[in-house]
Amino acid sequence: MVRKGYKEEIDLVRILWDNNFAAIRAPASGGATKKPLPDVIAGNGDRYLAIEVKTTSKDKIYIDSKKIEGLRKFSRIFGAEPYIGIKFKYKKWFFLPLDDLKMTPQKNYKIDLKLALKKGLDIYEVIGKEKQLKFK
């Protein structure tokens, strides 16, 4: 059985390698271990990224708060910058720092397309290759 998001994780790892970041999928993420592991870990010797990958065919997605706190904990211990990498169907990648996420009344996190368009970073912004101008 192919896990949802697997193809996107492989694509993201390729993009990172193509831009001088060593990157791996963390095969133990998603429940194979009780330890908080992100889906993708990358670094270039100067910067380290921990990315939780989400995909959806809808215009919003909910993420369990334990997943976010696990990403935060892993990143703190590892010395990585934590991001949620989200791919809406037929759209480009969006990367959101954890500080841009909003908690719902049910104590989960919601990312919708509107938030991604407003606050989301392009992968090349995340790795420092370009800066995108945001309109308000």
Residues carrying an active site annotation = 29
> How far is 117 from 16, CA to CA, in rounded Å?
22
> Is the alpha carbon torsion for 103, 106, 109, 110 positive or negative?
negative
Tell whether residue 8 is among the known ligand binding residues: no
Tell whether residue 9 is among the known ligand binding residues: yes
Query: Would you call 89 helix, strand, or coil by DSSP?
Result: coil
Q: What is the DSSP letter of 124?
A: H
Which residues fall in the annotated binding site? Answer: 9, 39, 52
Known binding-site positions for Mg(2+):
9, 39, 52
